[in-house]
């Protein structure tokens, strides 16, 4: 029987690459996004359903899940991929920006998961995959709020796995390193207070380093391959690093004391 995957944030980057890969592997794909008219080539593919889903809009979540179930009958895998990065000095972030960052990366992810859980629980099977980041374990300058959301996703997922295990629902966390997507441009929100200039030299230096890291990052296809492996390996493995240096960075963070690891980050970001 053909399996079905629902992906949030599927219009670009990791979500788009994941939708293409699963379709090529013979899955039914529910590719959701805030603006389905931006689905591009996805919309024309066989067994792909492009639906509107804004993770901050509960009504759109319910409607998308209902439409997906009507089209394909079941959903076997959920990939919570929608998200973005709020970048900048914490002092420069507005309350609205802070709330939006958590509303999308944390509360939106939880809302989609909660909406789909009754279906997965009733069918007594399923996989919930939450796209976190290596930034759920280690931190870079100017990403304090983004990191806060990813650490939240890590803790939420780690705990959720236990209560869903009796229903044969597995929880998995995907942890990409730097990826060549529009994360550093379109999918980023830059905190800026024109009257607050004290951080400007620091911001300029860090942003240049982060752009270089993005330019040298892995293709979104690499993370899509990891997501496919996580969906099909039959294991209860929880965490999956994705990207060329993700595993190495996570290993170093576990191995090194804070002082030494912090020195590496300062050397890379603030030279």
Could you write out the DSSP letters of every residue in 239-260? EEEESTTHHHHHHHHHHS-HHH
The pTM is what?
0.94
pLDDT of residue 181: 58
* Predicted pLDDT of residue 215: 67
150 given a catalytic annotation: yes
Active-site residue among 11, 16, 84, 132?
Answer: 132
146 in active site: yes
Chain position carrying tokens 């998995």: 172
pLDDT at 186 over 60: no
Evaluate if residue 171 carries a pLDDT over 60: yes
Of 143, 146, 184, 228, the catalytic one is: 146
Q: CATH number, domain at 172?
A: 3.40.50.720
What pLDDT band is residue 164 in, cutting at 50, 70 and 90? very high
State the residue range of the domain holding 239: 4-269
**What secondary structure letter does DSSP report for 76?**
-
Higher-confidence position of 219 and 210: 219
- Residue 268: predicted pLDDT: 86
**Which listed residue (11, 143, 150, 172) is catalytic?**
150
Burial of 271 per CB tally in 10 Å (0-12, 13-18, 19+): exposed
**How many domains, the chain?**
1
Quickly state the pLDDT bin for 217 (edges 50, 70, 90).
confident
Q: Evaluate whether 183 touches 13 at the Cβ level (below 8 Å).
A: yes
Question: CB–CB of 238/173 below 8 Å?
Answer: yes
pLDDT digit string (tens) for 85-114?
999 999 999 999 999 999 999 999 999 999
Q: What is the pLDDT of residue 214?
A: 66
| 218 part of the active site | no
- pLDDT tens digits along 53-91: 999 999 999 999 999 999 999 999 999 999 999 999 999
Band the pLDDT of 258: cuts 50, 70, 90: very high
CA distances from 16 to 44, 109, 126, 222 (A): 13, 18, 21, 12
In this prediction, residue 187 has a pLDDT band, given cuts at 50, 70 and 90, of low
Predicted confidence at residue 245, as pLDDT, reads 86
Q: Are 26 and 3 in contact (CB under 8 A)?
A: no
């Amino acid at each position: 029987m053909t399996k079905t995957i629902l992906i949030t944030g599927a219009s670009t980057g990791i979500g788009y690459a994941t939708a293409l890969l699963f379709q090529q592997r013979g899955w039914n794909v529910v590719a959701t996004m805030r603006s389905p008219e931006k689905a591009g080539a996805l919309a024309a593919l066989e067994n792909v359903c492009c639906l509107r889903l804004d993770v901050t809009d509960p009504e759109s979540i319910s409607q998308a899940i209902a439409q997906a179930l009507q089209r394909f009958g079941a959903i076997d895998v959920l990939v919570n991929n929608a998200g973005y990065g709020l970048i900048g000095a914490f002092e420069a972030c507005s309350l609205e920006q802070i709330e939006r960052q958590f509303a999308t990366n944390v509360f939106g992810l939880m809302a989609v998961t909660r909406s789909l859980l009754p279906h997965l629980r009733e069918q007594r099977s399923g996989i919930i995959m939450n796209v976190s980041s290596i930034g759920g374990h280690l931190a870079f300058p100017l990403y304090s709020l983004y990191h806060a959301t990813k650490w939240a996703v890590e803790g939420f997922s780690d705990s959720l796995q236990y209560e869903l295990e009796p229903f044969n629902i597995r929880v998995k966390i995907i942890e990409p390193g730097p990826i060549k997507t529009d994360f550093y441009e379109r999918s980023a929100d830059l905190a800026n207070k024109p009257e607050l200039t004290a951080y400007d030299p620091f911001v300029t230096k860090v942003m240049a380093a982060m752009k270089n890291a993005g330019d040298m990052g892995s293709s979104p296809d690499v993370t899509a391959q990891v997501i496919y492996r996580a969906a099909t390996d039959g294991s209860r493995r929880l965490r999956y690093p994705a990207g060329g240096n993700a595993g190495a960075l996570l290993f170093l963070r576990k191995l090194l004391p804070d002082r030494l690891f912090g020195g590496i980050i300062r050397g890379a970001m603030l030279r």
